[in-house]
Structure 1
Amino acid sequence: MSTPFYITTAIDYANGEPHHGHAYEKLGADAIARYMRQAGRQVHFLTGLDEHGQKVAQTAEARGVPPQAFVDEIADAFQRMWGRLEISYDQFIRTTDAAHKRGVKALIERIHARNPDDFYEQTYEGWYCVGCELFKRDNEIENGHCVLHPTRELQWTQERNWFFRLTKYADFLRALLTENPTFLRPESRRNEMLALLDLGLEDLSITRSRLAWAIPFPLVSSGGETQGTWVWFDALPNYLTATGFPDAGFESRWPAQLHVVGKDITRLHTIVWPAMLQAAGLPVPQQVWAHGFVLLGGERFSKSSGVRLDLGEAMDRYGVDALRYFLLREVPFDGDGNFSWERFDDRYTSDLANAFGNLASRVISMVEKYFDGEVPAAARTVVDDADFADLADFHAAMDGTRGYLPHEALAAVWRTVARANEFVQSAAPWALAKDPARRAELASVMASLVRQLARQTVCVAPFMPAKAEELWTQLGAPAAGRARAADVRFDELASLDPTAWRVTKGAPLFPRPA
């Protein structure tokens, strides 16, 4: 039986249309999920939308529509966008779902039953960022504004709320981060959280007075008021409620193997969320991967700061798979990276049109010309051996050995693409074809090149799923009983034999720009 792999993304906040920042995270998680399926894991891929909170209520009011109608519209926009980007999620959760609301209530009641002193009432005052839905510390404020939302005005807020005793869990959290160093990666993010613990934690205000657009907090205040649950105390449990919690059987999926989140919400996912789970007596997720940002001209994509790029325009430029490739190859998944149209054009032309696309076109054309379209039989060569050394790096970059690094995985595959192009030039099949005495040598060269293409197609399937299947069809694999490239398991690559496949040259995979 295959090993489960429950992977989640952060659920996006429902106050605007999806942008490149959202897309980058979903594409990275999608590549990991698709990779794990081909590695034989039993994958469940969760994404969704965070639909409550003051910011959503304010945006809906500004548009003159009820909050539920507003978030319904936003949810539809996100799901349509993820469909177009080929995000292969298994479940899309919304925090307005009845099952989620029930699960949040059950989690809070479970914490209260096990640790009744973890919730207490207190009057709190401080600067509140509606963009973050968080009270901000002094070191998170610059020139009177939140460092993450510099265009928003901070609000001085004073309320009597329910608090969660986060400080109680400082020792538990330090042990989690030090004794299990792979819980949070990359290493730089773990160091940041340890430094945060060194500064000292503060208890969290987890309800908001007079906030109607929220899940009602199940504990009634001493003044008889039912307050709204703070949006993060509502949002973080989505990973748990998506398993069916609190109903029987949720343990079959929980804990999650991997949370994929942005670096700006690392604290919430590796300090607040584990503390909530510990308070409830539930296991923490096995690992959190905190990626960096896609920047435009050195600035983060953000609705509030006005740094935006039209996703539709980017997809239309060269197609969805080309955009998927560019973002996952160009932007390191363990740091920040820049988007520019110039780099997009360069990557498309050099990596996709000239290197990979041209290789596929030349090899298929030569098999058609020299062997009537049927891949000849030939033994493995030193070229195959060299490729497998690079593919070991490919797997190490995607299977969790060194983290989750799609940019490094693609770089490894493209080393095999470069090797294949060099082999075409050095072996010169067109010259071999002129000498009948060298027919066996020609067959060896062409069989080796098709094997390389077949392996490359299988390996790029998590990153460019549609183009991979398009090339797989041109290679003749479906007719030979290998229905889809994405169905080939990675442990089959060493024995993958395209002998007798009938190739058919189709339209260029990546047409050169006019």
Structure 2
Amino acid sequence: MSDSCKKVYITTPIYYVNDVAHIGHAYTTIIADMLARYSRLAGYDTFFLTGTDEHGQKIADSAAVRNKSPKEYADEISGKFKNLWDDFDISYDKFIRTTDEYHKIGVQKAFQKMFDKGDIYKGNYEGNYCVSCETFFTDAQLIDNEGCPDCGRPTTIVKEESYFFRLSNYEDKLLALYENNPEFILPKAKAKEIVNFVKAGLHDLSISRTSFDWGVKLPDSMNDDKHVMYVWMDALMNYITALGYGTDEKNMEFWPGKVHLVGKDILRFHAIFWPAFLMSLELPLPDHIAAHGWWTRDGEKMSKSKGNVVDPKEIADAYGLDAFRYFMLREVPFGQDGDFSQRALMDRINSDLGNDLGNLLNRIQGMSGKYFDFKVTSKDVEKYHQKELDEAHELIKNAEPLIYNMQINRYLEELWKVLTIANKAIGDYEPWAMMKNGREEEAMALVALIVNIMSKVSIMLDSVMPEKIAQIAKSLGITVDNASYKALIIEKGIVADTVITKIDALFPRIEEELIATAEVQKAETVVEKPRKEAQKKESTSEEDNIITIDQFFETSLKIGTIVEAEEVPKSKKLLKLQVDVGEENNRQILAGIKEFYSAESLVGTQACVVSNLKPAKLMGMLSEGMLLAAKDENGLSLLRPETSKVAGTKVS
């Protein structure tokens, strides 16, 4: 990010208060917190917003089921979100609630401005409405003439008077935005689906409701009390009302936003509706709409019925908050779906954090204490180790741009390469041999090199693991702040003479899973036992295997484009395929179709893919999905779309 950009505005989506926070909410918030902490460290004036979305029919219905008023229910769930972020030491500057009075005033002023401009008009609407998704759908979009294409639940026909936003007027402007700003939507691969959706034609958007009253009323000047605003218009405005739009606008200097972080399921609202609203309000647009993927657990979609929902606080309490933060940021490329397992978390803690980072600090403490009474001077480090310092500085310089491009896992990979320089130097130069041969000056320079590398990496890791880095900084005798960032990172300086303080191991090795397996046992009871019992039967009727619509939609089916194909050596059946399913990276899928298809005949063709299947190894190679096919006495045929579809299109 250029030095001229002095203000940084980071936002999470405001979380819908129909349930308590889960690992997906934690993931978004930890990413945003990392960006905000790094921005402050780099010296940027930073504003970090999070909060809760509390209006709409779904909230009113959830409250009624619990015999509470919508406000009472919203207060309860919103409080749980805020308490969790406080427990996680999330460094937000403001926690907004859409029930806050200043927010309502700002939304009403925005509505009025768009109405006065002619972008809002009154009409009548009849359509298929999904209460769960708070969205209307056309007849052509429905599943079996009734089901919501996003969640599968039944829609209802809603016919009512409505105010409309002239979204159709902004089709060309939106397409120009995407073309002229290729990084507006991150990852870039996500932009394709948005561009295709807009090119298919935009319809004017119904932005008010009369069928319920739990929402923001229209401005008094409209003299139309029976309408409340569509929840998405209300919610999206939080990004500017939190800065005082329509009330006290002193913080509007932070607008436009640097990064809006969202889940991929709400990308369309943020990448189409939101910029159109901003264009209508004649406000500048944010730099990035960054959409991350979803999390599964042990390869399976999380659900309450399976008992496998990950409680982020339980994980953080058991394994440590900073270890949890590191895992979430490092484990999966931004934009792709991730899989959580205790074993994967333990591997990251034991390998990356324990062996690479923690052990390097232990070596500093050991060498400085044994050879130099914990006193370290850097006066000769550049004399003996300029090459290693230059390599470290180059890696750090290349790592920094990855942060705001939302390649945080790669950012961490680059920092771990810097740690490798330090660990390798100890083995290459053997300080114990130097001391034995009377080369104390060289041994001190080597210890100082390790201290300098650890100090620089610690500064860059502070936004990722603030608590652990504070302990490392104390041990090294340095401070982590903007002054040290400038001196050691920007100016490539060296650490002043320091005294090392011995501390306990930061990341003790973990041999066994720390969380009781009650949830796993529950999952086995719900899923595995019926399956095992069924396997004991010699035959099972179709009636016995009837499933619900919710069970069906736990399977994610997508259209995949086969971009590469090759035979698997020594296998009579397997082909190794690289398949584009609309994600940043292609999926590798091993398919047992070699007897029926040649590798070259598949390249460029499409097939239906089970995209949320737990990855498995076949003949030592990872397979990340499954192609759907039908086989009878005439052979095998892949299931394909009748006409070409955009890679990643959902099958429903």
Q: Quickly say closer, same or farther: Cα 1:35–1:203, change in 2 above 3 A.
A: same
Counterparts of residues 285-434 of structure 1 (less than 5 Å): 285-299=286-300, 301=302, 308-377=309-378, 378-380=380-382, 381=385, 382-398=387-403, 400=404, 403-434=405-436
2:245 alignment partner AA? F
Question: Is the Cα–Cα contact under 8 Å of residues 127 and 158 in structure 2 kept in the other structure?
Answer: yes
2:202 alignment partner AA? L
1:26-82 C-alpha deviation (Å, 9 max, x unpaired): 111111111212222111111111011111111111112222121111122111211
Structure-1 residue corresponding to 2:238: 238
Counterparts of residues 50-61 of structure 1 (less than 5 Å): 50-61=53-64
For residue 507 of structure 2, the aligned residue among 500, 505, 510 is: 510
For residue 28 of structure 2, the aligned residue among 8, 13, 25 is: 25
1:395 alignment partner AA? E
Deviation at 1:139, TM superposition (A): 6.9
Distance in structure 2 (CA, Å) of the matches to 1:379 and 1:367? 14
Question: Is the Cα–Cα contact under 8 Å of residues 2 and 40 in structure 1 kept in the other structure?
Answer: no
Higher-helix-fraction structure? 1
Structure-2 residue corresponding to 1:114: 117
1:502 alignment partner AA? V
2:123 alignment partner AA? E
2:148 alignment partner AA? C
1:504 alignment partner AA? T
Counterparts of residues 128-277 of structure 1 (less than 5 Å): 128-137=129-138, 141-142=142-143, 145-150=147-152, 152-218=153-219, 226-247=226-247, 248-249=249-250, 251-277=252-278
1:456-510 C-alpha deviation (Å, 9 max, x unpaired): 1101101001111111001112xxxx3x357632564244432321111111111
Deviation at 1:146, TM superposition (A): 3.3
SS in 1 for 2:159: strand
2:210 alignment partner AA? S
Distance in structure 2 (CA, Å) of the matches to 1:453 and 1:103? 47
Which is worse superposed, 417-426 or 135-144?
A: 135-144
Deviation at 1:145, TM superposition (A): 3.8
Deviation at 1:328, TM superposition (A): 0.3
Matched residue count: 501
Distance in structure 2 (CA, Å) of the matches to 1:502 and 1:384? 21
TM-score if structure 1 supplies the norm length?
0.92
1:353-374 C-alpha deviation (Å, 9 max, x unpaired): 1111111111122112211111
Distance in structure 1 (CA, Å) of the matches to 2:70 and 2:76? 10
TM-score if structure 2 supplies the norm length?
0.73
Structure-1 residue corresponding to 2:484: 488
Deviation at 1:118, TM superposition (A): 2.6
Distance in structure 1 (CA, Å) of the matches to 2:184 and 2:510? 44
Deviation at 1:297, TM superposition (A): 4.0
Question: Is the Cα–Cα contact under 8 Å of residues 303 and 309 in structure 2 kept in the other structure?
Answer: yes
Distance in structure 1 (CA, Å) of the matches to 2:43 and 2:250? 23
Q: Quickly say closer, same or farther: Cα 1:139–1:457, change in 2 above 3 A.
A: farther
1:431 alignment partner AA? A
Distance in structure 1 (CA, Å) of the matches to 2:495 and 2:431? 18
Deviation at 1:138, TM superposition (A): 5.7
For residue 498 of structure 1, the aligned residue among 478, 495, 499 is: 495
Question: Is the Cα–Cα contact under 8 Å of residues 54 and 211 in structure 1 kept in the other structure?
Answer: yes
SS in 1 for 2:436: coil
Deviation at 1:89, TM superposition (A): 1.0
Counterparts of residues 4-19 of structure 1 (less than 5 Å): 4-19=7-22
Gaps of 5+ in 1: none
Q: Quickly say closer, same or farther: Cα 1:41–1:504, change in 2 above 3 A.
A: same
Distance in structure 2 (CA, Å) of the matches to 1:467 and 1:138? 54
Question: Is the Cα–Cα contact under 8 Å of residues 23 and 295 in structure 2 kept in the other structure?
Answer: yes
Counting aligned pairs with the same residue, the percent is 37
Q: Quickly say closer, same or farther: Cα 1:305–1:42, change in 2 above 3 A.
A: farther
Question: Is the Cα–Cα contact under 8 Å of residues 121 and 221 in structure 1 kept in the other structure?
Answer: no
1:455 paired to 2:451: no
Deviation at 1:200, TM superposition (A): 0.9
Structure-1 residue corresponding to 2:97: 94
Which is worse superposed, 499-508 or 97-106?
A: 499-508
Q: Quickly say closer, same or farther: Cα 1:221–1:251, change in 2 above 3 A.
A: closer
Distance in structure 2 (CA, Å) of the matches to 1:354 and 1:92? 38
Gaps of 5+ in 2: 512-652
Structure-1 residue corresponding to 2:598: none
1:454 alignment partner AA? S
Distance in structure 1 (CA, Å) of the matches to 2:422 and 2:139? 56
RMSD: 2.3
Distance in structure 1 (CA, Å) of the matches to 2:393 and 2:139? 52
Question: Is the Cα–Cα contact under 8 Å of residues 240 and 252 in structure 2 kept in the other structure?
Answer: no
Q: Which has the higher contact order (CA 8 A, sep 6+)?
A: 1
SS in 2 for 1:283: coil
Deviation at 1:303, TM superposition (A): 6.7
Distance in structure 1 (CA, Å) of the matches to 2:82 and 2:222? 38
1:79 paired to 2:65: no
Q: Quickly say closer, same or farther: Cα 1:86–1:473, change in 2 above 3 A.
A: same
Distance in structure 1 (CA, Å) of the matches to 2:448 and 2:140? 61
2:200 alignment partner AA? L
SS in 2 for 1:397: helix
